[in-house]
Structure 1
Amino acid sequence: MSVKPGAADTSAAVTTASWLPLIVVVLTQIQASFAVNALTVSMAGITTDLDTPATSVGTAITAGTFAMAAFILLGAKIGARYGTRLVFQIAVAIHGLAMAAVALSQSPAMLFVAQAASGAVIALIAPALTVFIATNFSGDQQAKAIGYLAAAIPAAGVLALLIAGSFATTIGWRYSFALVVALAVVNLVLSFRVKPVPPQKDITIDWAGAAIAAVAVILLSFGFSGLNSWGVILATDAAPFSVIGVSPAAILIVLGTICAQGFFQWTRSRKAQNKPQLFNLDVLKTGAERATTICMATMMFVGTAANFLIPLYMQIIQGRSSLQTSFSIIPYTLSIFIASTVVARLYKTYSPRLIARAGFVVVAAGLILLAFTIRGDWHQIFVVIGLITLGLGQGAIVALVFNTLLTAAPKELAGDVGAWRGLVHNMSGSVGIAVASVFAVGILGTLVSSQLIDNPTIPASLKVESGINLDQVNFVPNDQLVVTLENTSATQAQIDEAIRINTEARLRALRTSLLVLAGLSLLAIIPAGRMPNEVPALEEPQPTKGKK
């Protein structure tokens, strides 16, 4: 049953459910997202306090991300088997303890273990949030709740910037994670007022499928994260190993893809034999649901890639600090938040298909505007407008696709929908950053090489003297380039020419990357056209018996 877009709702009035479960959902999402963002914002303080390089903090963040992605499908089944609320409460408590361990960390190893543990329990939390929404809300309330859940992620980013950034520069970075511990206590106490979801004790967990899925996710995650440093096809000197010269990144991606295909084949086989499966393929049984997943993956790919390129532009080209960069992208983050919360108002008037198509056009328009207006000065009004436009389209699509998947699936599959959403978000985001990095650096290298070859101002001898490797060109600030060339025999004219080449090549590489992302957004109109053409019918709660 479906409701035509714009059709009047003739059903009887129903009692609005309490918003308390949504408060728990939003605060818990902020708890999980704030913890990761605070780690990034506090990187300088952590590296100084623990006497460790920034790469160690990056490794800890990666460990948490990989752990969440690897076990999120298993987390959904554990929640269903033992009771969503109980598993959620245990996970929130463990996450709070992990954040306490981060706050008390005395070594990089302790930080790594605590962050990995927090990522693993988020794999239990993320599906539970979806189940809480599906079991406590329906109709318009459910659509709004999904929007608020989607908006909680950018909200956590802004809060981490304002709060963790302030703490890191005043009382110390550890207080940010003490705040997360306090938030975990609040969420744990409030969760006892959320009605329990009965455990499905007849569920048997497919541990073999869980192992295959975890191996696939880990291989793909490591493979894509190593593309830039290890090489796309051929191994670089930084690669930990190679097989007949082939990059380990390419090998891991191929092996991960094989394992992923093996997981789906294993799952189909168990379903055919009426055996328990780790992931219910009914979530993706129709062409519309698969198209919705493609739209979700595309938007996360484009969004995270743009979110990587924009700070790169501000920090490398403009020379802004990480904190200054974070403040500069607040308009972008806030526009995602606003769009995620208000897009539900369009569901009764416009179909998911139309909203998705319009959203991808808006995203492409924002990226194109950015590509044609970025210069050396960030304070251009059109750049800010481009960021806001991008955020509005991105926020609307992220909330829309999640709502479409959840409303199309039975309530008992809400955990599977939540786990699938988390997995697609995580993997698409990781791939987006990796591919954007490789593509932008590749374009930069090609542009620099074309400018340096047969350049009359910069002779070949200077390239050798300065140690410039045209096969490993990367984004570097002009100041760093000047320092390198001043240690050579380069004249001022040659330094000026090198700066000109570097400046032009960086801007062109970033603009080209943004335009390619815009093109990918426009291509996403095709799968968006296969999304539902009608608003999915949402089961309304029945009036309480005995009441008139």
Structure 2
Amino acid sequence: MMAKAAGLTVPEVVKTSWLPLIIVVMTQIQASFAVNALTVSMAGITQDLNTAATSVGIAITAGTFSMAAFILLGAKVGARFGTRKVFQIAIAIHALAMAGVAFSLNPAMLFIAQASSGAVIALVAPALTVFIATNYHGEQQGKAIGLLAAAIPAAGVLALLIAGTFATTIGWRWSFVLMIALGAVNFLLSFRLKVIPPQRDLKIDWTGASIAAGSIILLSFGFSGLAGWGVVRATDQAPFSILGVSPAPILIILGLIGGQVFFSWVRRRQTEKKHRIFDLRVLATGSELAVVACMSIMLFVGTAANFLIPLYMQVVQGLTGIETSFSIIPYTISIFVASTFVAFLYTRFPPRTIGRMGFVAVAAALTLLAFSIRGEWGQFFVVLGLILLGLGQGAIVALVFNTLLSAAPAELAGDVGAFRGLVHNLSGSVGIAVASAFAVGTLSSMLLAGGQDHPDVSADLINNINFNQANFLTNDQLKDVLADRAQGAELDAAVAINEDARLRALQISMLGLAALSLLAIVPAGRMPGKRAGDLPDQLEPDDPDTINDTIDELADSGRHSPESK
């Protein structure tokens, strides 16, 4: 039996083994596990490595920034040198990076290992959709893509459960030892995947890729250094300073300049009709720029909140890793539910209306969280706020990605997917870095004010503390820091001031994120009044004819609506 679509004759789809999909899902779990595991292992890492909780945030941003730096290059490298071969090398390196995390002796080692894992995930992520595209067709391909999408939140839930349990029982390092074993299994199973011939004639815009990667690396170090090196004035922790100015803002400015150079380079290549690392037609209109702005703001806000909430639970409330995991799981599930079912709203409401509703829900959730977090109560309302936050976040992220895809020509689906990955990781990383710096800065100001106003705190103690290097510490950690400086009533007063200051700093940070969410209503109002049509498939082939043929093939399987035909 033959099927016809767009003048083409397509052979009957033959079902194939689900083994490639199992490998793809297991690899997605391996790639997504680390960030969630680091989040719920925060308390154990800070004690084991004798570092502040925000150092864990720096490690997380190292991985996501690295992925953002190389995501535009990842699909091209796989296509040029062979998808399976590049995939296998990347999986092996990722397992080694997980070993680096598991056996980290200090924050620097943790940072390097996590950055390495993010860089190779940029090679892994495009390969997963390529494997699905080459192994499955028709209805089976649709199911495979859906299961791959479900693997991301599923990996988050598994990470929260496993890492939370390990962090509370045998130790946080065992979560990453488990990822080493999973990496070895995935590497061995990968030999069962089809060999996809490399595209020897494919030209890679190495200059554009280098400019993009360099700019993002500068932004990475700049934003990651805001909390430790200083927002304006350099602290003692800064590696260098220029006229007393922190290197963090300098690196951020250089990174932004590099971004301008990148877009100028790509624009020139596009005018000259030469090969390029990214196609600017993805951002051709003001409506598409508004979609990107909404995506950036939502990922900034959502990732920042997802870092601050475990910080509150473990440092302020003193919850264990497993208790934190169970508190965060509803948030992860609600993101999955919203991103899956938001499509049912497309026929009733235009994207701009859904976007506005979503940002209002996110602002309401963050406001609820700000007024619910307490040292001794409020856990129910915290979870309720997280569920509402997850529903709003999941709906907006799925909406803006789908809207951007539906507005772009089918042959640009790969560019849209790569750009989405870049924005996702860059915005999330900046969100954690900026939220950490803001929260720490607020904490420092409140500690200083509280110490000056408290009658039991001496001027000598205040003068001997560098409040510019303040950080979120548990009561026991603070007592260890002040062991040689304060005793008795003065130590008790310092602990009480710290408890109040760290709680209020987190509350103010949440309200700041809520205000940013409300401001996002403005770009949301510039999103399209209606969707352009059904979505092109999220595949990464470099040949436009391959993309078009695949879309025609999927049209036969009933995945596209009559309007799109």
Fold in common (TM above 0.5): yes
Alignment CA distance shift 1:133-1:285 (3 Å): farther
Instruction: Give CA deviations for 1:266-325 in whole Å, capped at 9, x if unaligned.
Output: 111111222221111111112222111111111110011101111111122112234432
Decide whether the 8 Å contact of 1:363 with 1:389 is kept in 2: yes
**Whole-Å separation in 2 of the counterparts to 1:365 and 1:277:** 42
Counterpart for residue 7 of structure 2? none
Q: SS at 2:245's partner residue?
A: coil
Counterpart for residue 430 of structure 2? 431
**For 1:23-34, what aligned pairs fall within 5 Å after superposition?**
26-34=25-33
Alignment CA distance shift 1:293-1:207 (3 Å): same
Alignment CA distance shift 1:414-1:185 (3 Å): farther
Q: Within the alignment, does 1:543 sit opposite 2:556 as a pair?
A: yes
**Whole-Å separation in 2 of the counterparts to 1:128 and 1:155:** 19
Alignment CA distance shift 1:121-1:443 (3 Å): closer
Alignment CA distance shift 1:188-1:37 (3 Å): farther
Q: Within the alignment, does 1:371 sit opposite 2:374 as a pair?
A: no
Q: SS at 2:203's partner residue?
A: coil
Counterpart for residue 529 of structure 2? 533
**Whole-Å separation in 1 of the counterparts to 2:116 and 2:344:** 38
Counterpart for residue 477 of structure 2? 480
**1:369, CA displacement in angstroms?**
0.6
Counterpart for residue 181 of structure 2? 178
**Whole-Å separation in 1 of the counterparts to 2:467 and 2:30:** 44
Amino acid at match of 1:481: L
**Whole-Å separation in 2 of the counterparts to 1:238 and 1:156:** 36
**Whole-Å separation in 2 of the counterparts to 1:450 and 1:112:** 33
Instruction: Give CA deviations for 1:438-471 in whole Å, capped at 9, x if unaligned.
Output: 111222222233333354443313424xx32333
**For 1:480-519, what aligned pairs fall within 5 Å after superposition?**
480-484=477-481, 487-488=484-485, 490-492=487-489, 494-519=490-515
Counterpart for residue 544 of structure 2? none
Decide whether the 8 Å contact of 1:366 with 1:386 is kept in 2: yes
Q: SS at 1:453's partner residue?
A: helix
Amino acid at match of 1:351: P
**Whole-Å separation in 1 of the counterparts to 2:32 and 2:346:** 27
**For 1:216-235, what aligned pairs fall within 5 Å after superposition?**
216-235=215-234
Counterpart for residue 101 of structure 1? 96
Q: Within the alignment, does 1:192 sit opposite 2:187 as a pair?
A: no
User: So what's the TM-score if we normalise by structure 2?
Assistant: 0.79
**Whole-Å separation in 2 of the counterparts to 1:40 and 1:471:** 25
Alignment CA distance shift 1:137-1:533 (3 Å): farther
**1:366, CA displacement in angstroms?**
0.7
Q: SS at 1:536's partner residue?
A: coil
**Whole-Å separation in 2 of the counterparts to 1:449 and 1:47:** 24
**Whole-Å separation in 1 of the counterparts to 2:381 and 2:44:** 34
Alignment CA distance shift 1:440-1:107 (3 Å): closer
Counterpart for residue 389 of structure 1? 388
Larger CA deviation: 355-364 vs 36-45: 36-45
User: So what's the TM-score if we normalise by structure 1?
Assistant: 0.82
**1:337, CA displacement in angstroms?**
2.0
Decide whether the 8 Å contact of 1:311 with 1:325 is kept in 2: yes
Alignment CA distance shift 1:418-1:181 (3 Å): farther
**1:192, CA displacement in angstroms?**
3.2
**Whole-Å separation in 2 of the counterparts to 1:324 and 1:521:** 28
Q: Within the alignment, does 1:320 sit opposite 2:314 as a pair?
A: no
**Whole-Å separation in 2 of the counterparts to 1:534 and 1:132:** 33
Counterpart for residue 521 of structure 1? 517
Counterpart for residue 247 of structure 1? 246
Decide whether the 8 Å contact of 2:448 with 2:462 is kept in 1: no
Alignment CA distance shift 1:348-1:277 (3 Å): same
Instruction: Give CA deviations for 1:80-118 in whole Å, capped at 9, x if unaligned.
Output: 556xxx42x233322332244357669759998876554
**1:119, CA displacement in angstroms?**
3.1
**Whole-Å separation in 2 of the counterparts to 1:112 and 1:458:** 37
Unaligned runs of 5+ in 2: 1-11, 535-550, 558-565
**For 1:140-289, what aligned pairs fall within 5 Å after superposition?**
151-166=150-165, 169=169, 172-173=174-175, 174-186=177-189, 189=192, 191-192=193-194, 203-289=202-288
Counterpart for residue 470 of structure 1? 467
Number of residue-to-residue matches in the alignment: 516
Counterpart for residue 562 of structure 2? none
Decide whether the 8 Å contact of 1:348 with 1:535 is kept in 2: no
Decide whether the 8 Å contact of 2:64 with 2:429 is kept in 1: no
**Whole-Å separation in 1 of the counterparts to 2:243 and 2:41:** 41
Decide whether the 8 Å contact of 2:25 with 2:151 is kept in 1: yes
Decide whether the 8 Å contact of 2:62 with 2:115 is kept in 1: yes
Decide whether the 8 Å contact of 1:338 with 1:395 is kept in 2: yes
Counterpart for residue 347 of structure 1? 346
**1:355, CA displacement in angstroms?**
1.6
Unaligned runs of 5+ in 1: 1-14
